[in-house]
Amino acid sequence: MLINMTELLSVAERFDFAVPAFNIGTGQLLKAVMDTCEALNAPVILAIHPEELKFQGDAFAAQCLYAAHHSRVPCVIHMDHGDKIEDMLKAIRLGFTSVMIDASHLPFEQNVAITKQVVALAHPLNISVEAELGTIGSTEGDMEKASGEIIYTDPGMAAEFVRLTDCDCLAIAIGTAHGIYPKGFVPELKLDLLSEIKGQVSVPLVLHGGSSNSDAEIAESIRRGVRKINISSDVKDAYYQELRLTLRDLVVREPFALYPASMQAAKRIIKEKIELFNAQDKIKHYKD
């Protein structure tokens, strides 16, 4: 069941859970995500980064649309971290139901201006818009290549940003970083800041860089109002670690023999995240 982000997250807001946004850079991960969500009756966001789309080619969007249309799981097909209008137009043409415009590296006024432009393009087509204010940190191997520095989101500015842009959900910076954190780096979420932002901002809040934070912190962030959490590295790491073992131990060349074990490894992490986010058994709250 294909829906947009506004519909998806309004239910999460009402029933106090967060929907995972899994980056699916390949068809095997798409299948692992959909199979797990079906088994757990969990709604899902299929997140595709512009680099992932470039690698897969536009036909991948059709594969995701087919999967969504043929599933009873409420699905959003979402462009993750587009940073220019061309990315947005491409996602819109391909049938995505949600886009993220990330202009968080620009000054506030310019971030507002480009986000407003995207909202004007997307809303008449019933497509949702995620924006970002503040900057999420970056670690090695991160697709975003953002600066390593985290600029925390200011609650008052966040409220003003949402009012000016009419965006549908907002990614905030409260101390997470993209990627797997280096050894010895202890990420610390500013949970009080999250509560302050939640108190002032009317749209659902989004947490990026959710891999590697402690489960207790993530669960608490959901209790305090986070409704979408991006997960990429944790799933991909499990997938490729298992694939390395398969390639080391077996002489196989057929994809259908090569990938099932790594898809299983990915599914274990996908299941853990769904349960951590309290998103299991929630499809009953969505209308057909």
Least CB distance to Zn ion at residue 243 (A): 24
Catalytic residue from among 16, 35, 58, 80? 80
Contacts to Zn ion from residues 160-199, by CB under 5 A: none
Pick the piece of the chain touching Zn ion (CB under 5 A) from 2-10, 13-21, 202-210, 243-251.
Answer: 202-210
In the bound state with Zn ion, the residue whose beta carbon lies nearer, of 224 and 228, is: 228
Q: How big is the chain, counted in residues?
A: 288
Size of interface with Zn ion, in residues (CB under 5 A) = 2
How far is it, in rounded angstroms, from Cα 45 to Cα 270? 12
The region that residue 68 occupies, defined by phi over 0 for left and psi between -120 and 50 for alpha, beta otherwise, is alpha
Least CB distance to Zn ion at residue 244 (A): 25
In the bound state with Zn ion, the residue whose beta carbon lies nearer, of 218 and 283, is: 218
How far is it, in rounded angstroms, from Cα 104 to Cα 134? 6
Structural contact between residues 270 and 235, judged by C-beta atoms closer than 8 angstroms: yes
Least CB distance to Zn ion at residue 159 (A): 22
In the bound state with Zn ion, the residue whose beta carbon lies nearer, of 81 and 224, is: 81
List 208, 224, 227, 228, residue binding Zn ion (CB under 5 A): 208
Least CB distance to Zn ion at residue 163 (A): 23
C-alpha angle 273-276-277 in degrees, rounded to nearest 5:
85
Secondary element (H or E) of residue 75: strand 75-82
Least CB distance to Zn ion at residue 144 (A): 6
Pick the piece of the chain touching Zn ion (CB under 5 A) from 84-92, 160-168, 204-212, 220-228.
Answer: 204-212
Q: Which residue has the tokens 């932002």?
A: 197
In the bound state with Zn ion, the residue whose beta carbon lies nearer, of 6 and 230, is: 230
- Measured at CB, which residue is nearest to Zn ion? 208
Per-residue binding string, Zn ion, 219-238, x by CB under 5 A, is -----------x--------
How far is it, in rounded angstroms, from Cα 56 to Cα 168? 27
In the bound state with Zn ion, the residue whose beta carbon lies nearer, of 230 and 233, is: 230
Q: Which residue has the tokens 């209008």?
A: 85
Structural contact between residues 146 and 105, judged by C-beta atoms closer than 8 angstroms: yes
Is-catalytic flag, 58? Answer: no
How far is it, in rounded angstroms, from Cα 120 to Cα 131? 13
Reduced to 3 states (helix: H, G, I; strand: E, B; else coil), residue 120 is: helix
Least CB distance to Zn ion at residue 284 (A): 29
In the bound state with Zn ion, the residue whose beta carbon lies nearer, of 4 and 135, is: 135
Instruction: List interacting residues with Zn ion (CB under 5 A).
Output: 208, 230
Residues known to be catalytic: 80
